Structure 1
């Protein structure tokens, strides 16, 4: 272990806004099984059990937050939002904000293959941290840490409908109103192969209802669907 490891751990605690009473729990949360298998004497435990617990703690905090939000959300809305908020890419964003990769204890194999930047490893470690905080304190404390990291994301997903499936919503509306499915057409592709921007239009019964752009066909379709829904509501 490098000499600066303890100092780094304190820096991570500063970013979390939480000081561990039991530092071993924090170390366990940061220990990947590859490190444990290589150095069982230094790391008798690894973070998979804490990840399992943290996943449940995170899910409850997010569900409670959505349920108690100042806007009354339906069960279907809460379910979709919760799934979006706890998915791997969101947890990876949290890990990046915490610079979590540099605190992980990894085996040589994972280290050599870029384990410190792997989404799966980092997102699992975030959940393990939440589990460790819960065990080191209580639900109320773990909740305060999680909401400090997620509150802006919760507000954004509700106010701006980030992550909302506008394509599914439009499909439901067009089937209900017209008995048809929306038709998407790619009208433009711009940019280099790995940096393309797509422009898509969506038609209902042959009539143009919306257009949108995005870095992928799916994103462009989603933005077009969002515009079409607004037009349907305004009609």
Structure 2
């Protein structure tokens, strides 16, 4: 990545974040996927580790302030929906973060710029870069700017995750709880892809893939719910 390219990415991402990022080594590190790292070029995994903690703190703080009378369980449901890797990846895609990433050749050839795990990690690494360059207040402002619509969209009721919704569907019909089976695990250690099947006692099932077993289970449950809704329509 040339300095000119890095400067262009810095300007565009600064506008999306509302924080003036510099075309620095720190930003380049945040944008470097492990597939493009080298002894002389660090990848973004250490920054992702830090950014994840900053994101968690800011969103937990925001939820407590917005819902002062809610118990921990309801706050946790909102929180889990906001901080999951899928949400980070969606926001990264919205600001075009994938186009700014430095990727290895294999990742470029396999559509790495659109991969959920890569986008989620990069989003958290970018948050860390803002935090290290400008401090917690700037990182908080950037997170609330990007996550604000989702905080507002939560409304009065916390979200129900797909696994819980599928279990309620089964219980309402006198069926055993759904079961989840891991079909396969592929990919490198730093970017695994799990394929999981969600199965009902009557034999209906759906499969989905994601960077973690939990995310794959949720995706498979959501896909099976969609199928059930289509069957009932």
The two structures have a TM-score, normalised by structure 1, of: 0.68
Distance, in Å, in 2 between the alignment partners of 1:220 and 1:154 is: 29
Deviations 1:103-136 (Å, cap 9, x if unpaired)? 0011111111111111100110000011111111
Q: SS of the residue aligned with 1:68?
A: helix
Distance in 2 between residues matched to 1:170 and 1:119, nearest whole Å: 24
Aligned to 2:197: none
Whether 1:183 aligns to 2:183 is no
Q: Structure 2 CA distance, aligned partners of 1:184 and 1:116?
A: 44
Look up the match of 1:17: 18
Match of 1:34 in 2: 35
| Structure 2 gap ranges (5+) | 176-221
Deviation at 1:221, TM superposition (A): 6.5
Cα distance change, pair 216–169 in 1 and its aligned pair in 2 (3 A): closer
Matching residue of 2:160:
164
Distance 1:54 1:112 in 2: 27
Q: Is the counterpart of residue 117 in structure 1 residue 111 in structure 2?
A: no
Separation of aligned partners in 2, 1:34 and 1:151: 32
Instruction: From the superposition, tell whether residues 182 and 31 of structure 1 become closer, same or farther in structure 2 (CA, over 3 Å).
Output: same
Equivalent in the alignment of 1:130: 127
Match 1:217 to one of 224, 228, 231: 224
Name 1:75's counterpart in structure 2: 72
Whether 1:97 aligns to 2:88 is no
Q: C-alpha distance in 2, partners of 1:166/1:108?
A: 36
Q: Would you say how many aligned residue pairs link Structure 1 and Structure 2?
A: 183
Q: 1:152 deviation in Å?
A: 1.0
Q: What is the alpha-carbon distance in structure 1 between the residues aligned to residue 146 and residue 130 of structure 2?
A: 14
- Larger Rg over CA atoms: 1
**Are residues 76 and 93 of structure 1, via their aligned partners in 2, closer, same or farther at CA, if it must alter by over 3 Å?**
same
Alpha-carbon distance in structure 2 between the residues aligned to 1:221 and 1:78: 29
Match of 1:7 in 2: 8
Alpha-carbon spacing, 1:113–1:167, altered in 2? closer, same or farther (3 Å): closer
Corresponding residue for residue 148 of structure 2: 151
Structure 1 gap segments, 5+ residues each = 173-179, 186-214, 223-235
Per the TM alignment, residue 71 of structure 1 is displaced from its structure 2 partner at its CA by: 5.3
Contact 2:166/2:225 (<8 A) preserved:
no
Alpha carbons 2:7, 2:23 under 8 Å: kept? no
* Distance in 2 (alpha carbons) for counterparts of 1:138 and 1:89: 25
Partners of 2:10 and 2:21 within 8 A in 1: no
Q: TM-score, normalised by structure 2?
A: 0.69
- In 2, are the aligned partners of 1:13 and 1:19 still within 8 Å (CA)? yes
